[in-house]
Chain A
């Protein structure tokens, strides 16, 4: 594509008109608009996926304690717990999404996908998908390209930033990227891939960004696990050709509308929701710096 499409409808038309797979249009966009070489793009995707896998591994192996103490090796506990709720695969999915996100909270290296706050969702879903279905790395990179295309449209028509659109914009976008990738890797049609995005948005719609003490920890970490689960349930539904009824582009617009009308206290300001609970406030008082100088001068210093 010469220019980035503004909608899923355009993306689909472009690909079906030219007989291209969905990922090819995203690749062409990056080559034409960003002046990148195709081989560099594949290398970049490879690097990103390696960092994602590494984050999953570190989160399950190394000590993961955050400065605030709120994050405390949760992923390892889930991974090693003897009872599985659904299946060992589900347990691993949850543990891996938690693991990569805990690495983020504990100052480890991650891929912001699309943001740092949602950095556990693609690692958790893609690593688990690849393991269960024996999918090639190349196919995973194609899925990441499709995910990037999804996020580019979401950024354009709604938002991918918690401060602008709430948590739905961060973990919701990541889950939509992941469900598109899963559906693609399992042989879904273009319509099914986009239906997976629509269903994911329907499930994540309205989620507020209310981080305790303003830190990217509670509830961000557990929401990476739930978003990974929703990405999978949405793909399961879409692959069976169940219709989302509301078309994907309209779902995206709904997400934008909900994000816009959300009050500021639900947009990363730590003034509402969980952050404003008595416990949330107490943690904030303990963790954040209280010894702050206030200068007489209206303009601050100087």
Chain B
């Protein structure tokens, strides 16, 4: 069962209108994409699905996703002018609407973003009240909210890798809240996504990155910070 609400769920959040699912949640999905890519993309292809497909313009979700890609927070007043502000940072974009993705959440958005030779693809759901869930990162299944501390590791599918990461984090006094593991195939590339209650030290991240069989370590602290 979900944790009970508090005062600032009733008097809050402070947000940019008109709707927490269409603005705050979408900004967060854009911001996660920015963090995974490691900066503002040069180009982004954005697909709004299902309920979003029809209403994204009227509700300003097009501005919200671009604002997130430019690393704005959910209460940033510039969100309203995000379409114009992309020019200043050299972000080009293209929107598409797909209305028939029946296995997806009603409010889903897919962002494919590129910067230099790096590219990233993120599928996110805006679940209401600004809460999000990232369902896919670069084709790997995922299931994180970005409200905790998230670590995305791409590594070879080797024996004992999960135990290794868990051990390193426990040395760091980090409590693992959720974990999603998926892989392209046996002994192929695997992706491990961890959410932890407290922050992860830079030295720990460096240590993990140095393993020969670890290809990528992306760390995203609380998305609203």
A residues sitting closer than 8 Å to B (CB atoms) are 4, 26, 29-30, 33-34, 36, 41, 44-45, 47-48, 51, 66-68, 103-117, 119, 122, 144-145, 147-148, 151-152, 155-156, 160-161, 163, 177, 213-217, 287-289, 291-295, 298-301
Contact (Cβ within 8 A) B100 A148:
no
Q: Give chain A nearest CB distance to B81 CB in angstroms.
A: 9
Alpha-carbon distance A122/B10, docked complex (angstroms): 11
Q: Is B49 an interface residue (CB 8 A)?
A: yes
Q: Tell me, in angstroms, the Cα distance from A29 to B10 when the chains sit together.
A: 14
Given contacts A105-B18, A107-B79, 10 further A-B contacts (CB under 8 A): A67-B58, A112-B20, A113-B11, A144-B11, A161-B128, A215-B58, A216-B19, A288-B55, A289-B53, A294-B98
In the assembled complex, the CB of A146 is this many whole angstroms from the nearest CB of chain B, namely 11
CB closest chain-B residue, reference A300: B101
With A107-B80, A110-B14 known to touch, is A289 a contact of B7 (CB < 8 Å)? no
Q: List 28 A-B contacts (CB under 8 A).
A: A26-B7, A33-B4, A33-B6, A36-B6, A41-B7, A67-B57, A68-B58, A104-B17, A106-B80, A107-B60, A108-B80, A110-B15, A114-B9, A114-B11, A122-B11, A144-B11, A147-B11, A148-B10, A155-B10, A213-B55, A213-B58, A216-B17, A216-B59, A292-B99, A295-B98, A300-B102, A301-B98, A301-B101
Among residues of A, the one whose C-beta sits closest to the C-beta of B20 is A116
Residues of A contacting B128 with CB < 8 Å? 161, 163
A151: B residues at CB distance < 8 A: 10-11
A-facing residues in B45-92 (Cβ within 8 Å):
49, 53-60, 63, 75, 77, 79-80
Q: A107-B80, A292-B97, A294-B100 are in contact. Are A148 and B17 (CB under 8 A)?
A: no
Q: How many residues of B contact A (CB 8 A)?
A: 42
Q: Which 4 residue pairs spanning A and B have beta carbons closest together?
A: A300-B101, A104-B17, A151-B10, A216-B18
- A51 near B6: Cβ-Cβ < 8 Å: no
Distance in angstroms from B88 CB to nearest chain A CB is: 19
Does B207 belong to the interface (CB within 8 Å)?
Answer: no
Contacts of B16 in A (CB 8 A): 107-110
Interface status of B96 (Cβ within 8 A of chain A): yes
**CB neighbours of A41 from chain B (8 A):** 7
Q: Does B39 belong to the interface (CB within 8 Å)?
A: no
- Which residues of chain B have a CB within 8 Å of any CB of chain A? 4-20, 23, 49, 53-60, 63, 75, 77, 79-80, 96-104, 128
| CB proximity of A221 to chain B, nearest CB, Å | 10
Is the pair B13, A112 in contact by a Cβ cutoff of 8 Å?
yes
Known: A113-B10, A116-B18, A300-B100. A108 touches B54 (CB 8 A): no
Tell me which residues across on chain A come within 8 A of B80, comparing CB atoms: 106-108
**Does A109 contact B11, Cβ atoms closer than 8 Å?**
no
- In the complex, how many residue pairs between chain A and chain B have their CB atoms under 8 Å apart? 157
Q: Which residue of B lies closest to A268 (CB)?
A: B19
Min Cβ gap B198→A in Å is 14
In the complex, the chain A residue whose C-beta lies closest to that of B64 is A107
CB pair B59–A215 under 8 Å, yes or no, is yes
Nearest CB of A to B47, in Å: 8
A294 to B96, CA, bound (A): 11
Give chain A residues whose Cβ lies under 8 Å from the Cβ of B5: 152, 155
Q: A107-B63, A117-B19 are in contact. Are A48 and B53 (CB under 8 A)?
A: no
Please name all residues of chain B whose beta carbon is closer than 8 Å to the beta carbon of A4 when the two chains form the complex: 4
Q: Which single member of B15, B53, B63, B101 contacts A109 (CB below 8 Å)?
A: B15
Are B14 and A299 closer than 8 Å at their CB atoms? no
CA–CA, A34 to B7, complex, Å?
9
Q: Could you say which residues of chain A place their CB within 8 Å of the CB of B75?
A: 109
Query: Closest chain B residue to A108 by CB distance?
Result: B17
- Distance between Cα atoms of A291 and B98 in the complex (Å): 9
Q: Of all chain A residues, which has the CB nearest B82?
A: A107
Tell me the nearest residue of chain A to B74, going by C-beta: A109
